């Protein structure tokens, strides 16, 4: 059969690979000049490795992408331990600010983490292990024990229908207590989901805890190295790869589907964002079917990449900002995960936000974004110097996992025969990532 795959990210590449292995004639369409989708990378002239436009890593529990890599003959994936921490405003705890200790936690445990100059109101706490959690000074011992038991239950629990009947806030307040919600979770949810934070289903936190891993994985050379490798593999199987190609119109004929009033196909697989797919299928799908998707809500990603001489974070790879006074969601110090030697000996940090479509940040240029972020970054480290920077916007990057999402999210099968959807909305309840993109691509290929 003649099959059109719309979108050249990991989902489209995976589907194209397995369909071509079955003997189908596959054409892969990608609007950008390079394949990769959300995992696409770039490289500065003096760098040895690619760098993703948005922070990327693998979890050691993610088997789908590891098995796919084996299938295509790619073995350049490695894992290593990293440090995840959280930043808190401790100005309401004078014991911490003055350095006199808190809950019996010695200063060297608290402050040995970030040796650079940091504003007195803030502290960084590692929260990677049960031992870290027990040393965390902003909760009482009974609260830590209760919260730890709930986290252990979530880690080992199968998926329960209960998780879709309660919001994460309701579930965590009932099981861990109101104060634990306010200290551990409230700001994380607000930074990630904005005004929708209180509506997010408990299924999201179940999936997040279930998949949490100490060891994270990366691709030697950057994710673009794997993307380029798979591109060559699918071309070798006869897949036509059409980059820099925008699908403006998708029509339906008695024989099949027509793209841009020219090329005809028996089957179409859309890996495009649901919003984009809905716009080009107005003449194909029933109105009531498309109206479902109009009820889905998304936030856009804003990612500022900073190349600096000194690291912003000393040891931490992933820093959650748990203070409303610092309007940043996360800082990911990439070179605390991947050796700086691959980036000309300089340090790389991602600064990330999820924002609503009317947020002023979406209208900021790179200079304005740096001016917005810098005063807050200097509260964490006043001594870094920016050498280079990049700014990227990821549209529709974060679906809002609320009750409307459950009722209206897309599925593989559509009302139109031989038109399939496989996009990252369908990774629910798990957070979007390359592992689930690969899984979707393989699963949709089995339906044809």
DSSP conformation class of 253: -
| SS3 state of residue 25 | strand
| pLDDT for the residue numbered 114 | 56
The long-range contacts involving 96-103, CB below 8 angstroms and separated by at least 24 positions, are 96/123, 96/137, 97/121, 102/137, 103/137, 103/140
- Bond into 309 cis (ω within 30): no
> Is residue 164, in this structure, part of any structural domain at all?
no
**109 assigned to some structural domain:** no
Within 10 Å of residue 236's Cβ, how many Cβ atoms? 9
- Is 195 within the bounds of a domain? no
Domain count, the chain: 1
**Residue 287: Cβ-neighbour burial (10 angstroms; 0-12, 13-18, 19+):** exposed
The predicted-structure confidence for 309-333, as pLDDT tens digits, reads as follows 999 999 999 999 999 999 999 999 9
Query: Residue written as tokens 């949709």?
Result: 444
Rg of the chain taking only CA atoms, in angstroms:
23
Instruction: Specify whether the CB–CB gap between 370 and 294 falls below 8 A.
Output: no
Domain contains 210:
no
Spans in the chain with pLDDT lower than 70? 92-118
β-bridge mates for residue 46, sequence order: none
CB atoms within 10 A of CB 162: 12
Q: Is 79 helix (H, G, I), strand (E, B) or coil?
A: strand
What are the C-alpha distances in Å from 301 to residues 36, 87, 88, 424? Answer: 17, 21, 23, 14
* pLDDT at site 113: 52
In a domain, 240, yes or no: yes
Order across the sheet with 347-355: list the strands.
122-126, 84-89, 318-321, 330-333, 347-355, 298-308, 386-399
Predicted local confidence at residue 163, as pLDDT? 97
Residue 217 forms part of a structural domain: no
Q: Is residue 277 part of a domain?
A: yes
SS3 for 251? Answer: strand
Domain span at residue 231?
Answer: 2-39+223-295+404-446
Check which CATH number belongs to the domain holding 257 and give it.
Answer: 3.50.50.60
Q: Does some domain include residue 254?
A: yes
- 268-295 pLDDT per residue, tens: 999 999 999 999 999 999 999 999 999 9
Classify burial at 36, counting beta carbons within 10 Å of its beta carbon; exposed 0-12, middle 13-18, buried 19 or more: buried
């Amino acid at each position: 059969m003649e099959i059109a795959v719309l979108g050249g990210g990991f989902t489209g590449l995976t589907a194209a690979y397995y369909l071509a292995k079955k003997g189908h004639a596959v054409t892969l369409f990608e609007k950008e000049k390079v394949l990769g989708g959300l995992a696409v990378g770039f490289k500065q002239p003096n760098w040895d490795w690619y760098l993703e436009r948005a922070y990327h890593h693998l979890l050691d529990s993610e088997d789908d992408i590891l098995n796919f890599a084996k299938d295509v003959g790619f073995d350049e994936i490695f894992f290593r331990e990293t440090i995840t921490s959280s930043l808190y405003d401790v100005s309401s705890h004078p014991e911490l600010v003055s350095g006199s200790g808190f809950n019996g936690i010695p200063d060297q445990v608290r402050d040995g983490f970030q040796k650079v100059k940091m504003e007195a109101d803030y502290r960084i706490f590692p929260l990677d292990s049960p031992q870290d959690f027990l040393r965390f000074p902003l909760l009482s011992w009974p609260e830590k024990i209760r919260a730890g038991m709930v986290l252990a239950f979530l880690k080992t629990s199968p998926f329960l229908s209960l998780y879709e009947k309660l919001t994460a806030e309701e579930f965590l307040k009932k099981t861990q207590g109101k104060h634990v919600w306010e200290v551990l979770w409230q700001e994380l949810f607000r930074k990630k989901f904005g005004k929708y934070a209180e509506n997010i289903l408990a299924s999201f936190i179940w999936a997040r805890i279930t998949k949490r891993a100490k060891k994270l994985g990366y691709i030697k050379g950057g994710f673009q190295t794997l993307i380029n490798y798979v591109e060559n593999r699918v071309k070798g199987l006869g897949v036509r790869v059409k980059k820099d190609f925008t699908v403006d119109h998708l029509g339906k004929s008695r024989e099949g589907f027509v793209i841009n009033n020219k090329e005809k196909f028996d089957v179409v697989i859309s890996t495009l964002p649901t919003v984009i797919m809905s716009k080009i299928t107005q003449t194909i799908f029933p109105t009531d079917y498309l109206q479902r998707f109009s009820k889905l809500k998304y936030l856009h990603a804003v990612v500022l990449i900073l190349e600096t001489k000194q690291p912003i974070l000393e040891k931490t790879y992933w820093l959650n900002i748990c203070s409303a006074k610092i309007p940043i969601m996360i800082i990911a110090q990439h070179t605390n995960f991947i050796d700086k030697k691959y980036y000309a000996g300089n340090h790389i940090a991602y600064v990330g936000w999820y924002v609503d479509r009317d947020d002023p940040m979406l209208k900021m240029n790179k200079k304005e974004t740096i001016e917005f972020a810098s005063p807050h970054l200097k509260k964490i480290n006043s001594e870094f110097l920016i050498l280079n920077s990049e700014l990227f916007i990821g549209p529709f990057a974060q679906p809002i996992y609320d009750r409307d999402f459950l009722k209206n999210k897309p599925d593989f099968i559509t009302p139109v025969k031989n038109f399939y959807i496989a996009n990252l909305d369908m990774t629910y309840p798990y957070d979007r990532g390359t592992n689930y993109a690969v899984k979707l691509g393989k699963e949709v290929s089995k339906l044809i």
